[in-house]
C-alpha cells in the first residue's frame, strides 16, 4: 500500500512571518504528537521557500513549490527553474493546477514538459487534473480527465496525480465520497492503461475544499492516497486535523 501524503498548497497568501509562524505550529504539533505512516508537504509562495526550509530544520515535514518552468535555465523573466527549487530544499512541486491552466493558459503539453524537467532535477511532480462544472454537467468529465492524463503525464511518470474537480476548488463544495470513489477508480484504470503495472502504484490524491470536517471520509476511500489541501492548509489546526485523519494501517 502506498504511503499517504497530505500536501498543503498555500497559493498566493501571507508574508514571510505568516509562513514561519504556520510552519512552527505545524512542526511543533507533529513533534509532540507524531503521525506515523504519512508524509506531509507544505508548498509556500516562491519568496518564502528558503525561509520555510530553514524553519522546517530537519522536521518530518517536506518542502514543496507551486510551479516550475520546463527549462532549467534561460531567458525566462519571472520564472523558476526546477534546480532552483532543489537548491532551496524543495523535494516536491505542484504542476498543472487548474488555476495555472486558467490564469496562465497552461495546456497539457506544457504540464508534461514541466513534469519531465521536475523529475530530472530530483523533484517529485504532483500533477493536477480535473473537470470543470460545465464538463461535469455535460457528461464530459471522464473524457476530460482521460485526455489530461494522456497529455499531462510523461512516459515513465513516477510522481503523484492529484484529482481536483475545478468546481470544488475554493468553493466549499467537495465532491461526494461516491463521486470521488468512482472518479478515482476511473483514474486508476487510465493510469494502468497508460503505464501498465506501474500505474497500479502511482499515488492519487483528492483536492477541492478538503477540510477538517470531510477529511476522514475522503481519506478512507479506497485508492485515495492523500489530499492536496488549499484554504484549510493556511490554518494550522485545520491542516493538522486533516493530517491526523489519515487512516492508520
Q: Enumerate the active-site residues.
A: 97, 164
Enumerate residues 6+ apart whose C-beta is below 8 A from 136. 165, 167
Neighbours of 162 (CB within 10 A): 26
Q: What angle do CA 137, 128, 242 make, to 5 degrees?
A: 95
C-alpha R_g of the chain: 17
Element (H, E) at 133: helix 133-137
Q: What angle do CA 154, 125, 107 make, to 5 degrees?
A: 55
CA distances from residue 179 to 82, 175, 183, 229 in whole angstroms, order as listed: 34, 6, 6, 18
CB 74 within 8 A of CB 48: no
Amino acid at each position: 500500500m502506498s504511503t499517504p501524503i497530505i500536501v498543503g498548497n498555500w497559493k498566493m497568501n501571507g508574508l514571510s512571518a505568516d509562513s514561519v509562524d504556520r510552519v512552527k505550529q505545524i512542526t511543533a504539533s507533529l513533534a509532540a504528537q507524531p503521525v506515523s505512516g504519512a508524509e506531509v508537504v507544505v508548498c509556500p509562495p516562491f519568496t518564502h521557500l528558503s525561509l520555510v526550509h530553514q524553519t522546517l530544520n530537519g522536521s518530518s515535514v517536506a518542502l514543496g513549490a507551486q510551479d516550475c518552468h520546463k527549462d532549467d535555465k534561460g531567458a525566462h523573466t519571472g520564472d523558476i527553474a526546477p534546480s532552483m527549487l532543489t537548491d532551496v530544499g524543495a523535494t516536491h512541486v505542484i504542476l498543472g493546477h487548474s488555476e495555472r491552466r486558467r490564469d496562465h493558459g497552461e495546456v497539457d503539453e506544457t504540464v508534461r514538459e514541466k513534469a519531465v524537467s521536475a523529475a530530472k532535477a530530483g523533484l517529485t511532480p504532483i500533477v493536477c487534473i480535473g473537470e470543470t462544472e460545465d464538463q461535469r454537467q455535460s457528461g464530459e468529465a471522464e473524457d476530460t480527465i482521460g485526455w489530461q492524463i494522456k497529455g499531462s503525464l510523461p512516459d515513465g511518470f513516477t510522481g503523484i496525480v492529484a484529482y481536483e474537480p475545478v468546481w470544488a476548488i475554493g468553493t466549499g463544495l467537495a465532491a461526494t465520497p461516491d463521486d470521488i470513489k468512482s472518479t478515482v477508480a476511473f483514474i486508476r484504470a487510465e493510469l494502468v492503461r497508460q503505464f501498465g503495472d506501474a500505474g497500479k502504484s502511482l499515488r492519487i490524491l483528492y483536492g477541492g475544499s478538503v477540510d477538517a470536517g470531510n477529511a476522514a471520509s475522503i481519506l478512507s476511500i479506497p485508492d485515495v492516497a492523500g489530499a492536496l489541501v488549499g484554504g484549510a492548509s493556511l490554518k494550522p489546526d485545520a491542516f493538522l486535523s486533516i493530517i491526523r485523519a489519515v487512516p492508520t494501517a
